[in-house]
Amino acid sequence: MNNKNYFSFLITKFRFKIFVLIIFLILFSGNTQIFSQDEIEIVESIPLETSLENSDLPRTLNVWLKMINEAKESVDIETFYFANEKGKPLEQIIAALKDAAGRGVIVRIIADSGFYSKNDKSVDELEGIKNITIKKIPFSNLAGGVMHAKYFIADKINVFTGSQNFDWRALIHIHEIGIRVKNKDMGRTFSELFETDWKLCDNNFYGITNMAVHFFVNKDNPVTVSSDKYGQVMMYPAFSPPDLNMPGLSSEEDELIKIIDYSKNRLLIQMYSYSPKTRSKEIKYDRIDNALRSAASRGVKVKIIFSDWAIRDEATDFIKSLSAEKNIEIKFSSIPQYSAGFIPYSRVEHCKYFISDNNISWISSSNWEQSYFKNSRNATIVTDNIRINEELEKVFYRSWDSNFTEKVDIDRKYESVKRN
């Protein structure tokens, strides 16, 4: 079964309802632009001084500023961390959040407590400001991992998610991919997740154990939105970890494997890291690895770009082994250092996306390691749309064909790169 067949039953399920809605709106509104309130953008951060700057996709900084500046009632942010430096572009985001609060917009922020306690505390710049409330979520205590998601919602309808942390480097020195969707059902689904995690910041498990099952956008109830650029797009979100998902939300890991299993022709994957590591030294995480090998064995052409930060410990041998499979090609990417000097924790491809065949696209915050699916909060949006698939194909090949990627050599001894 290919990916079109995977989504066909969903399309059939909603076809009649959509038809009735169209007729109703045409008859009673006199306006055929019935989805004009919906918007979709693929959003990219580009490391300065690289060939990737040729992309014409919207930049993260501009999209975030527009979302915040246009917010009228609320901005809810759930992000791994904030990292700002004086004179750097995240200052514009912080200023926009302060301005929003000043005009009466309620701003709520969730950050990971463990990362905050040991690292950058730039989120404190927003403490003590009227209409801004900040909470830290103890995800290590809750699930044994971290709050690794990077999403925010403006006015309960305008959603952004992707690989971008609220880090100034993620705006100009790291390659990132995200997606913005303005749609009330997607907004409601992400908002319900935020409300749950807001309660969990105080170790209040009411949000999980006693929550009534609401209508969520999920694999069984995808939403169809329309935009001027991409036309009709069927999509749904998926989240991790399953144990802290409300009833009705789709599981990232399950959907990821299903899409790979249904792939018929090709998989183009760009991923920050890939590892077999688990909490047990005796057990390796190989669910994704097995799915990729199975896809390749049935003739699916698989191309993968891993960042050079994936070169560490046993992960390198894991990647080498995968690259030896027929129909699988893997490259490491190494972004050149900035001309002004070394910048810690930057100059890397941090993207977490892939495309399947000619229609399915996956944009996520999850790295491909077990802990990101089983123990950490992450978010993904899956789309079924040829134009979005083509857009991400261009993103992929800009890196694949660049002079800073090279094919994995199974005979080479790789050394870990300097990060800080």
pLDDT in tens, 285-335: 999 999 999 999 999 999 999 999 999 988 999 999 999 999 999 999 999
Crossing angle for the helix pair 3-29 and 252-262, to the nearest 10 degrees: 110
Q: Which residue has the tokens 């995977």?
A: 6
pLDDT in tens, 111-147: 999 999 888 899 999 999 999 999 999 999 999 999 9
Chain-wide mean pLDDT for the chain? 92
* Concatenated DSSP letters of 50-84: SGGGG--SPBHHHHHHHHHHH-SSEEEEEES-EE-
Contact indicator for 67, 180 with CB cutoff of 8 Å: yes
Whether 36 shows a pLDDT value over 70: the answer reads no
Q: What is the pLDDT of residue 12?
A: 53
User: How many residues appear in the chain?
Assistant: 420
What ranges make up the beta strands (E) of 100-209?
A: 106-112, 132-137, 150-154, 158-162, 166-167, 174-182
Average pLDDT over residues 336-365: 98
- CATH code of 3-407, in short, is 3.30.870.10
Q: What is the pLDDT of residue 196?
A: 93
Q: What is the pLDDT of residue 305?
A: 99
Q: Residue 375 carries which side chain, given as an amino acid letter?
A: N
Instruction: Tell me the C-alpha distance between 125 and 96, whole Å.
Output: 12
Q: Which residue has the tokens 């609220």?
A: 166
The model carries a pTM of 0.91
Contact indicator for 376, 146 with CB cutoff of 8 Å: yes
Two tokens, residue 130 = 């009227």
Contact residues for 107 (Cβ-Cβ < 8 A; gap 6+): 74, 75, 76, 77, 97, 100, 101, 126, 131, 132, 133
Q: What is the pLDDT of residue 29?
A: 41
Give the pLDDT band of residue 215 (cuts 50, 70, 90). confident
Instruction: Tell me the C-alpha distance between 340 and 165, whole Å.
Output: 23
Backbone angles phi, psi at 271, to 5 degrees: -140, 140
